[in-house]
Amino acid sequence: MDRLRQALCQRLPAGIRTFIVPTRKVNVVPVYEQTPRLVPKGKSPKQVMTDKLYAKYDPDGSKRALFDKTKPTCPRAGDILRVTKKDKSSFVGMLLALNRNHLATTILLRTKISGIGVENRVHVYNPDVEKIEVLRVPAMRWPKEKYYFVRGTKKYDAGDLDSFVRRQNRNKH
């Protein structure tokens, strides 16, 4: 047996594996049908998912249009905003911060109720938020993106904005 093995090994080219036993069995690899594409060719899966979620949470595109940076009507820190929810409750406050993060965009509003500072963080694309409107734009702005410094100052703090809205409505009628 050793002589036969040596004779075979001498005839085989270098690098051939001699420990493999040849068989007549044919291995068939199954080929499956291609699954349908979930994302169109050439598009990013993240972008497709983002578009679907925007269509679900902002079907008319009003919130996206309001917070579009390229438009001059985009609210900035210091503006007075009113957020109305589906249950018809509303919150009026000075915009302290606007955190843009696609569907996780939030705004931080501050007002004073009975002399106590109250802050409310609102998720813009929350289904409970019916509309967001800009009531007043300040004549002069500070060169800052976030107005956290107004907390606890009498000079710069928001004040009672509910009374401001009542006066504004009285003057309209």
Q: What is the pLDDT of residue 163?
A: 72
**Alpha helix stretches (DSSP H) within the chain:** 2-11, 45-57, 62-66, 161-172
pLDDT, tens digit (0-9, with 9 covering 90-100), for 37-83: 888 889 999 999 999 999 999 999 999 999 999 998 899 988 999 99
pLDDT, tens digit (0-9, with 9 covering 90-100), for 112-132: 888 888 899 999 999 999 999
Name the token pair of 18: 């001699």
Chain centre distance of CA 158? 28
The pTM score is: 0.71
Give the pairing of strands 116-123 and 106-113.
Answer: antiparallel
Q: What is the pLDDT of residue 20?
A: 66
| Residue 98 near residue 144 (C-beta atoms within 8 A) | no
- Going along the chain from its start, the domains and CATH numbers come out as 49-172 (2.30.30.790)
Distance between CA atoms of 158 and 165, rounded to whole angstroms? 13
Produce one character per residue of 93-128: b if its CB has 16 or more CB atoms within 10 Å, e if not: bbbbbbeeeeeebebbbbbbeeeeeeeeebebbeee
- Residue reference for tokens 């900035």: 76
pLDDT, tens digit (0-9, with 9 covering 90-100), for 1-46: 567 666 666 666 666 666 666 677 777 888 999 899 888 889 999 9
Residues in the chain: 173
